[in-house]
Amino acid sequence: MVIYDPASSVLPKTFISLLIITGLVLTMNGQEFTIEEATIREIQQAFADNKLTSRQLVDFYLNRIQELNPVLRGVVEVNPDARDLADEADREKQSNGGSLGDLHGIPLLVKDTIGTKDKMNTTAGSYALIGSEVARDAGVVERLRKAGAVILGKASLSEWYRIRSINGVPNGWCARSGQGVNPYITSGSPCGSSSGSAISVAANMVAVSLGTETHSSIICPSDHNSVVGLKPTIGLTSRAGVIPCAPRWDTIGPICRTVEDAVYVLDVIAGFDPRDDEATREGSQFIPEGGYKQFLKNEGLKGKRLGVVRSPFVDKLHDSAIAASFEDHLSTLRKRGAIVVDNLHIANIDEILDPHRSGELMVMATDFKISVNAYLKELITSPVRSLTDIITFNQNNPELEKLAEYGQQTFIEAEESTGIGEKEIQVLENLEKLSKEGFEKLMKENDLDALVTPGSRASPILAIGGYPAITVPAGYDSDGMPFGICFGGLRGTEPKLVEIAYGFEQATKVRRPPCFSTSELSLALFGFNIDTVSSEFPIREATVRDIQIAFHQNKLTSKKLVQFYIREIERLNPVLRAVIEVNPDAIKLARKADLEREANATVSRSLLHGIPILVKDNIATKDKMNTTAGSYALLGSVVPRDAGVVVRLRKAGAIILGKASLSEWAHGRSPKAPSGWCARTGQAVNPYVESQDPCGSSTGSAISVAANLAAISLGTETDGSILCPSSFNSVVGIKPTVGLTAEEVPICRTVSDAAYVLDVIVGYDRHDAVATREASKYIPNGGYVQFLKPDGLRGKRLGISNYLYFGFPKNSGISQLFKQPLQTLRQGGAILVDHIKIPNYETIKDSMFIGEQIAMTAELKLSLNAYLKGLITSPVRSLADIIAFNNKFSDLEKIGEYGQDDFLESEKTNGIGELEKKALLNLTRASKYGFERLMGKYKLDALVTPFAQGSPVLAIGGYPGIIVPAGYDEGGTPYGICFGGLRGSEPKLIEIAYGFEQASKVRKPPSFKP
């Protein structure tokens, strides 16, 4: 189960408040312009008045997407060329001396089924089409580009229009972006399938958007997200280049904040397209000379005959507020001159509204197979070429596509269809009859201009007949959930519908933007007021010992504990990006642990029994999860066995909860890639101060523990990868002596928890025989827990350096931050040996940094190639393959932004040659004549360094270190204090770290500051 894309839409209402964006008012040339809620006309006027540029507008929306989309999930991809396109639009305006059309320079999102011939994917929200290449822009996109619109990105949707599994896939969910969230009520449905198009416009992440509709896919999400949705007559807009659902009913239309904006867009996208010849030739006859803008009339309601069918559209409304509001709106329609023809009936309405009974769904599935196969065959390149291929892809990638949760039953039914046969023809004839004898008869006999309905329940009527409709915001229920009013008409009646919808909108002006209030957010947002699983036992911040006591007292079960952490992951991970995957078997494993305890099984006496643990996504698990180092290159690879530490954890009864995110390839791909970023999850976020570095590479392991997404976690360290993220995220990280574990190390909230984990994971491993055999001699009889002594500081000699890089420079900000922690060490009985100097420091420093890089570059290629060759299956088998994969999928892996310089340098190497041997020898000398001599000369038990600044010293010598929370700066960013020692000195380091922790007790839960 891929958790970067959680399916749950049940997020606390306050969750979004943290994501408030400042700077909605732009000042240019001394003049102000408010972008939020601005209409196309207002934006064009701001362009003309030099209050705004297209580039500034695009920057605003990109920032807005960056801030809000981690929660709302309205956007799948942003166009990497959007800023360049905006610059070009600005240049065109300057050279032409003014406006070049209503949409010129206007940013627009298109649904991720609408083809764009650029650097973006067109995937219907599915990973199956990642890397496919369309032959050309969709017809509507060609018209938009010609009009000067800026294609900002791709909007999310219900994956494959929900036709993958009608009863399984939730509205607004797709594998690529996760669950779209209603910006008004986060627990409310965003509806679909054009969910992202509606969410993005509603939340001001874009000016306008395009959606598609087969059956309610524009009308319903517009209704639920308080925006205007216009479903055109079939054929009025081209479907060419759009991933099809059921071409006989598919249409493309605008989703905007106002009727006027929707009409501006319709004027551009409507028209004949030879690539969709039959439909658009028929639809084009309805386009009025002069376009649709002329029908934006304030008095548009005057004289219009509007029909009301109360059963079932009004009588079955469950919300009294909506029912009352609808009656009020009928009164408004009458007051504005409309003639409301009430209490009408549509023949066979129950059959029309039931797509199973009418056969609509059967024909839709058959149409889908025929049309999607044709679409896939026309792609220039594609990983899949048929519906069969898509089904197989999903079966091969069940966690990625959440196959167990949502299924693909409708796909399978569609694949079993054999084309339009007699049965399908009979259904189509019946649907045509239902339309003619139902809706068309109603409209003609009563001389109606439009049918008026609350919400979107009339969509099936409009779908099967290819009729147009417009929905307009009509109000909000008692919980704040939006609802709309829909005006539907006969084919080609868009002019009348525009008049009616615009007249209603101007008379009511109901729409309001989502309320992202700031005051209620900071704490409740990330859920510190939500109920814990057990009212008797508070799970958040609980230690391993606390949890085991709760197990013993029957106040908690492993199942409840796992369910709590999964809920926290679903709630917080969309912003924090700390977890890549959750183990689909986690709850089953928790039940097993509970049964073992109930039976008094002696399977494990470990304190980790029944405890959920996250492991970094480069630690192999032989289960249903991937092991990918955060890269798409390894998706689908199969490891031959659990990593050694995972074997030990499972034997101890721990529950592998999931995989934590990381700096991709442990930050080994390129120095340009930010700490905490990987392609599979994006940029991880520091839970204390969002704008601060979360550090890496074990970023997700530290964030997850800090934010209570897991009890404990494992990371890995080469140089700073445990110590640095632990420091920045206010948690405890232990870097053991090299070989004490295979490579993996604990990150926890307390020193005691870290010691419990260390006791389980250390020891000899035949798969890492040389290193673990050598280090096993350091493991003390009785383990490490015995060194958890409150007076552990007493008598310890601790070295304090004043070197700029490693120490506490005098009269610096660092020395001020650590004044109290150092005092705590003295008060605890430690002897601080101050002003120590590392012999030959400058020489050591240079050889250390240069030599370390040379050695790491060569070893990366050797070790990675060996690992890849040992996999049972893998899309890549060498570093060269990975480099080629990244080049092929450069957008997915952000090669343009971050590159792969270190990979390229490593690939040039030819093993451990003379240069590398010399570098390794220099590193050995630097350790022996630097750190080791220093420790011996001053008889030190540990060297104390601020943050993780001593990590290079510890790295090159394979020395251990422990970092403990030491405080928070003025902005709320955490910082830690690190205790490093000679190989095998973990007992002393644990005594020191635990003594300091118990004396200071600095750690506090995240503050979630911007």
Q: State CA 519 to chain mean position distance.
A: 25
Residue 947: Cβ-neighbour burial (10 angstroms; 0-12, 13-18, 19+): buried
Q: State CA 599 to chain mean position distance.
A: 41
Which residue out of 132, 165, 193, 209 is catalytically annotated?
193
Residue 511: Cβ-neighbour burial (10 angstroms; 0-12, 13-18, 19+): buried
* Rounded distance between C-alpha atoms, residue 609 and residue 557, angstroms: 11
Q: Return the beta strands (E) in 125-273 as ranges.
A: 150-155, 173-174, 178-179, 208-213, 228-231, 251-256
Q: Which residue has the tokens 């979004």?
A: 16
Dihedral of alpha carbons 36, 42, 43, 45, sign: negative
**C-alpha dist (Å) from residue 449 to 145, 231, 300, 492, 696:** 34, 16, 12, 11, 63
Which residue out of 217, 606, 663, 698 is catalytically annotated?
217
217 is catalytic: yes
Dihedral of alpha carbons 803, 806, 810, 811, sign: positive
Would you list the DSSP string of 90-111? HHHHHHHTS---TTTT-EEEEE
Which residue out of 13, 51, 111, 154 is catalytically annotated?
111
193 is catalytic: yes
13 is catalytic: no
Half-sphere exposure of 16 (CA within 13 A, CB side): 25
**C-alpha dist (Å) from residue 317 to 333, 334, 353, 411, 454:** 20, 22, 15, 32, 9
Ramachandran class of 678: left when φ > 0, alpha when ψ lies in -120 to 50, beta otherwise: beta
Query: Closest Cα to residue 726, out of 660, 774, 792?
Result: 660
Dihedral of alpha carbons 814, 815, 819, 822, sign: positive
* Rounded distance between C-alpha atoms, residue 690 and residue 685, angstroms: 6
* Rounded distance between C-alpha atoms, residue 230 and residue 488, angstroms: 10
Residue 615's H or E segment, with its range, is strand 612-616
- 885-894: b or e for each residue (b if 16 or more CB lie within 10 Å)? bbeebbbbbb
* Rounded distance between C-alpha atoms, residue 324 and residue 292, angstroms: 32
Residue 473's H or E segment, with its range, is strand 469-476
The total of other beta-carbon atoms located within 10 Å of residue 246's CB is 21
Q: Which residue has the tokens 């030190």?
A: 940
* Rounded distance between C-alpha atoms, residue 491 and residue 482, angstroms: 28
Query: Closest Cα to residue 920, out of 839, 840, 845, 854?
Result: 854
- 749 and 652 Cβ atoms separated by less than 8 Å: no
* Rounded distance between C-alpha atoms, residue 943 and residue 832, angstroms: 10
* Rounded distance between C-alpha atoms, residue 435 and residue 360, angstroms: 12
Query: Closest Cα to residue 249, out of 262, 228, 231, 267?
Result: 231
Supply angle C-alpha 654, 1007, 703, rounded to 5: 35
- 597 and 616 Cβ atoms separated by less than 8 Å: no
Q: Which residue has the tokens 């120590």?
A: 836
**C-alpha dist (Å) from residue 615 to 104, 370, 401, 580, 714:** 49, 44, 22, 10, 5
* Rounded distance between C-alpha atoms, residue 50 and residue 206, angstroms: 20
**C-alpha dist (Å) from residue 287 to 233, 273, 636:** 10, 14, 50
Q: Which residues are catalytic?
A: 111, 193, 217
